[in-house]
Amino acid sequence: MLRTGVDIVHVPRFARLMDNPAFLAKVFHPSEQKKHDAQHLAGLFAAKEAFFKAIDDGPRWLDIEIKKKATGRPMIVMTGALKDAITECDLSISHDHEYAIAHVVLVTR
């Protein structure tokens, strides 16, 4: 089944959340936090939100990790049951000043 999800994040609003270490640890893998920049992390947050909208399930933040392919294109790395349930996953993230947006397209079994 083809599934899609999209999310948009207001970067200044998201920047206020970055002062909360518990929030960052709950949502982002250490590798995702290496670039401690509001616009970057807002994009990753939008990607995760879009992913969970696509699978129509509540967020299990650390079950997915946003990485970059050798080309620089973002990708989602899944663990456990998610990896078994999803056969294809495509991700696009874009930033424009105060906004970050992400779109996910999935094919599920």
Positions marked active-site: 53, 95
Residue 79, C-beta contacts closer than 8 angstroms, at least 6 positions apart:
63, 64
Spatial CA neighbour of 43 closest among 69, 70, 68: 68
Alpha-carbon separation of residue 104 from 3, 41, 84 (angstroms): 8, 17, 17
